[in-house]
Amino acid sequence: MAAPEVTHLPNLPNDVEGLRQSIRDAVVRVVGEDPRQATERDWMEALAFAIRERMVERRLLTRRQFADEDVKRVYYLSMEYLIGRMLEANLRNMGILEPARQAMADLGVNLDTILDLEDDAALGNGGLGRLAACILESLATQGYPGYGYGIRYEFGMFRQEFEPYHQVEHPDNWLRYGNPWEFPRSDRKYPIHFYGHVVEHHHPRGETRYTWENGEEVLAMAYDYPTAGYGRRNVNNLRLWAAKATRDFDLRYFNEGDYIRAVADKAESETISMVLYPNDATAIGKELRLKQEYFFVSASLQDILDRHLALGYNLDALPDKVAIQLNDTHPAIAVAELMRLLVDCHELSWDRAWDLARRTFAYTNHTLMPEALETWPVELMERVLPRHMGIIYQINHDFLEQVRHRYPGDNDRLARLSIIDEQNGRRVRMAHLAVVGSHRVNGVAALHTQLLQETLFEDFYNLWPERFVNVTNGVTPRLWMIQANPALTELLGQRIGNDWQYDLDRLRALEPYAHDADLQKAFLDVKRANKVRLANLVRERTGVELNPDVMFDVQIKRIHEYKRQLLKLLHVVDLYRRIRAGEDVAPRVVLFGGKAAPGYARAKGIIQVINEVADIVNHDPAVGDRLKCVFFPNYEVSSASIIIPAADVSEQISTAGFEASGTGNMKLALNGALTIGTLDGANIEIRDAVGEESIFIFGMTADEVVEHRRNGPNPEAILAQQPNLAAAVEMIESGFFTCDDPGTHGDLGRYLRHEDPFFVIADYAAYTEACERADTLYADRTAWAEAAILNVARMGYFSIDRTVRDYANQIWDIIPEPVAPSRTNGAA
């Protein structure tokens, strides 16, 4: 029993006076600067330290309570966390935003200026990484014992610049000023093994044992990021791993006298956590990527097992005390790694270990796109992770036995289901490994889950229908409403109170007031103010002047052929041509934002042509305010929170059947933008929620897309029928907009006429018709305001809190454990 003073946790005051004291002290004690000379960045750092010491108190309280109450924990394994800025979010979720604002003002510093100095933590590409960040925030907010594991990339998502039209990538050196939010844990290091070979040890009685010998080792060191819940004391943890060279490197080379080689090798072994691969919907076949995946998975599983055993639990209790969620196939090697740890290191029998592993893991699929599905050449897996290759063979052998028993003689089915693809030079199908090794598999929207069952995982669904569930994505209203849209938050508070901040379904209380003229006016005023805020940012970043009284039509997301930025661009060119021809078209501002994977030439070409069209359109005096086109550079979480509240129209126009869910669609609709969208991903559920009056649906359905492809699409024939569309394509390919490399626009014309793989041409007429429906409604300010208010009122379902409850109930079997106010740590 430790003495009381040893178990004591500090209890720092959260009032203005207490915060001011902490911040002033931190400038000297942590930043090391004289308050008389401290810069804004020094004050930012001091403020961050004052918050983090308060966060860690609650983190420890939370951890104590979870240990005392024997809770089941969930671990979210994700290669990506797209967090954005942390200062404001931490202040808000800790409940000290306003006192901190006052404390800073007392110290002569404007909080908003400080907030703007922070770099985004952009450790993710797009939807998948942002979803992971929303899920962690919701786990803490709802009091679930949920922890994130990932990689502490030295360089996150690249910074995008246009020079002047095409995308140029710059390194994202987000840690250059250090990072006040992380707790480096030099005592938490795990060895991670690569290469080498496997030695079999035959035992006369009992199973053959295996050891993994020689090869290389690198250490995974933990960096902890406390994650605070909103309106609760719970603080959870995100643990990110960084690669550190082992001392072995020193011994091996320094002793041989090759000092430079030794240092170079140390550095090279630390490249594992150096950089995020900037690809979203394509698999990366690089050895370093496989090493990243295994690196963070092995460290996380070693850590999970250590904690499980340290808490006094038996390995047989693993599925009762631990749930592990695989965020896409990126961490799917976890299935083999847990088997290795249980069988080789903890000496469990194969069958016992397999039963535990399967009941512990669950897998979320985020895409049906074949090029995004990870497969690793057997030869590569054998070289980098020889023991895992053996384990995968064993898993596959046992699995295919089961299939043979169920479907005798059906060799085609066996080949289709096998974890090893024998067709394409022998590859390990990571999605199959994830499905076989999990007790639940989920898609991220109703349509996506249905398509998973009917196409990608059809054979698995027939085998194990009970494994498949849907968990529709969601977004956190703390960031995407309360933080991003303070003006609407304030208005909602005046009209329906603040209950919706804790239960987003309560937004429905707004419904009866949708036709209230005062509310409509206030709502439109809020939207206009948000548009002015965005126009100021756009002027600052691009020099383009936007008229806030014109419709803001927004498409913000990664650049992809299937997301069809070209469909929106054709519309812009069409409008531009008609304006020049003297036609009267409804005015609009079209704003694009998003990054292209550096190796995705077509996506980069799309960015370039949009920038070129924008340049011509925005400088044409004949156009004026009737049309503006902006490509917002370096779209990231912090700019999203300015753009989204300012949008009138949300473009969700992917070819049906290709967008697994989308989450930008939810953020925009929640902020009162009306959606123009296809029946794809979660758009379908958004339509069901908001009603036909508040959404503009158009285009082929997923079934019709399949049918259309089967019939042999003929874009040229469609062009011949549609003079406006044909004229737009001709205008592009004529070189009218060419500012840079001649030839690229001709190539784009050929692409649309002869390839058009995502049916931009086939959906164009329906699309422009939907845009015109939006224009007509927009012109009727009362009708628009009513539809937009109803849209907000009916978006409660898309709260990430509902998503997380669905995971907790259908998959993880965990319950909330709100941290109770204690006598000594009771301050809210």
Give me the active site residues, please.
366, 557-558, 563, 663, 667
Q: Which stretch binds ligand Z16 (CB under 6 A): 127-135, 141-149, 587-595, 604-612?
A: 127-135
Please report how close the Cβ of residue 135 comes to ligand Z16 at its closest, in angstroms: 10
Decide if residue 661 touches ligand Z16 (CB under 6 A): yes
Distance CA 399, CA 702 (A): 32
Decide if residue 638 touches ligand Z16 (CB under 6 A): no
Decide if residue 327 touches ligand Z16 (CB under 6 A): no
Decide if residue 640 touches ligand Z16 (CB under 6 A): no
Decide if residue 476 touches ligand Z16 (CB under 6 A): no
Decide if residue 474 touches ligand Z16 (CB under 6 A): no
Please report how close the Cβ of residue 160 comes to ligand Z16 at its closest, in angstroms: 16
By C-beta, is 44 or 276 nearer to ligand Z16? 276
Q: DSSP code of 475?
A: B
Decide if residue 122 touches ligand Z16 (CB under 6 A): no
Q: Which stretch binds ligand Z16 (CB under 6 A): 145-153, 480-488, 620-628, 661-669?
A: 661-669
Decide if residue 84 touches ligand Z16 (CB under 6 A): no
The phi, psi pair for 177, rounded to 5°, reads -95, 15
Please report how close the Cβ of residue 661 comes to ligand Z16 at its closest, in angstroms: 4
By C-beta, is 367 or 501 nearer to ligand Z16? 367
By C-beta, is 99 or 662 nearer to ligand Z16? 662
322 neighbors 73 (Cβ within 8 angstroms): yes
Q: Which two tokens stand for residue 500?
A: 């919706």
Which residue among 51, 100, 114, 131 contacts ligand Z16 (CB under 6 A)? 131
Place of tokens 């756009």: 538
Distance of CA 14 to the CA centre of its chain: 32
Please report how close the Cβ of residue 602 comes to ligand Z16 at its closest, in angstroms: 17
Letters for 286-325 (x = contact with ligand Z16 by CB under 6 A, - = none) are ----------------------------------------
Which residue among 125, 234, 396, 768 contacts ligand Z16 (CB under 6 A)? 125
By C-beta, is 127 or 587 nearer to ligand Z16? 127
Four-residue CA torsion sign, 116, 120, 121, 127? positive
Q: Which two tokens stand for residue 574?
A: 């069409």
Letters for 434-463 (x = contact with ligand Z16 by CB under 6 A, - = none) are ----------x-------------------
Distance CA 323, CA 333 (A): 16
Please report how close the Cβ of residue 654 comes to ligand Z16 at its closest, in angstroms: 8
Decide if residue 78 touches ligand Z16 (CB under 6 A): no
Distance CA 332, CA 78 (A): 10
Distance CA 198, CA 392 (A): 14
Decide if residue 653 touches ligand Z16 (CB under 6 A): no
By C-beta, is 121 or 281 nearer to ligand Z16? 281
By C-beta, is 444 or 572 nearer to ligand Z16? 444
One-character DSSP codes across 566-608? HHHHHHHHHHHHHHHTT-----EEEEEE----TT-HHHHHHHH
Distance CA 748, CA 756 (A): 10
3-state secondary structure 649-666: EEEECCCCCCCCCCCHHH
By C-beta, is 65 or 652 nearer to ligand Z16? 652
Which residue among 473, 671, 744, 791 contacts ligand Z16 (CB under 6 A)? 473
Q: Cα torsion at 395, 401, 406, 409 (round to 10°)?
A: 130
Q: Which stretch binds ligand Z16 (CB under 6 A): 287-295, 331-339, 479-487, 660-668?
A: 660-668
> Under the phi-then-psi rule, with left for phi > 0, alpha for psi from -120 to 50, and beta for the rest, what region is 426?
left
Decide if residue 681 touches ligand Z16 (CB under 6 A): yes
C-alpha closest to that of 393 among 369, 422, 371? 422
Please report how close the Cβ of residue 120 comes to ligand Z16 at its closest, in angstroms: 16
Q: Which stretch binds ligand Z16 (CB under 6 A): 14-22, 119-127, 302-310, 740-748?
A: 119-127
CA end-to-end distance (rounded Å), the chain: 29
Decide if residue 659 touches ligand Z16 (CB under 6 A): yes
By C-beta, is 372 or 646 nearer to ligand Z16? 372
* 649-669: burial string, b at 16+ Cβ within 10 Å, e else: bbbbbbbbbbbbbbbbbbbbb
Distance CA 449, CA 492 (A): 34
By C-beta, is 78 or 724 nearer to ligand Z16? 78
Q: Which stretch binds ligand Z16 (CB under 6 A): 139-147, 460-468, 605-613, 659-667?
A: 659-667
Decide if residue 331 touches ligand Z16 (CB under 6 A): no
Q: Which stretch binds ligand Z16 (CB under 6 A): 199-207, 477-485, 654-662, 797-805?
A: 654-662
Decide if residue 715 touches ligand Z16 (CB under 6 A): no
Decide if residue 196 touches ligand Z16 (CB under 6 A): no
Distance CA 597, CA 393 (A): 34
By C-beta, is 798 or 812 nearer to ligand Z16? 798
80 neighbors 136 (Cβ within 8 angstroms): no
Pairing of strands 197-201, 627-632: unpaired
3-state secondary structure 27-82: HHHHHCCCCCCCCHHHHHHHHHHHHHHHHHHHHHHHHHHHHHCCCCEEEEECCCEE
Q: DSSP code of 549?
A: T
Decide if residue 546 touches ligand Z16 (CB under 6 A): no
The phi, psi pair for 603, rounded to 5°, reads -65, -40
Please report how close the Cβ of residue 453 comes to ligand Z16 at its closest, in angstroms: 17
Decide if residue 662 touches ligand Z16 (CB under 6 A): yes
Decide if residue 472 touches ligand Z16 (CB under 6 A): no
Decide if residue 20 touches ligand Z16 (CB under 6 A): no
Which residue among 471, 660, 670, 800 contacts ligand Z16 (CB under 6 A)? 660
The phi, psi pair for 537, rounded to 5°, reads -70, -40
240 neighbors 129 (Cβ within 8 angstroms): no
Residues 258-287 that bind ligand Z16 (CB under 6 A): 280-281
Q: Which residue is nearest to ligand Z16 (CB)?
A: 127
Query: Within 13 Å and on the Cβ side, how many CA atoms surround 172?
Result: 28
Decide if residue 675 touches ligand Z16 (CB under 6 A): no
Decide if residue 126 touches ligand Z16 (CB under 6 A): yes
By C-beta, is 153 or 181 nearer to ligand Z16? 153
CA distances from 755 to 502, 712, 762 (A): 49, 11, 12
Q: How many binding residues for ligand Z16 (CB under 6 A)?
A: 19
Decide if residue 367 touches ligand Z16 (CB under 6 A): yes
CA distances from 470 to 458, 484, 655 (A): 15, 29, 21
C-alpha closest to that of 362 among 442, 281, 480? 442
Decide if residue 685 touches ligand Z16 (CB under 6 A): no
Decide if residue 389 touches ligand Z16 (CB under 6 A): no
Q: Which residues bind ligand Z16 (CB under 6 A)?
A: 125-128, 131, 280-281, 328, 366-367, 372, 444, 473, 659-663, 681
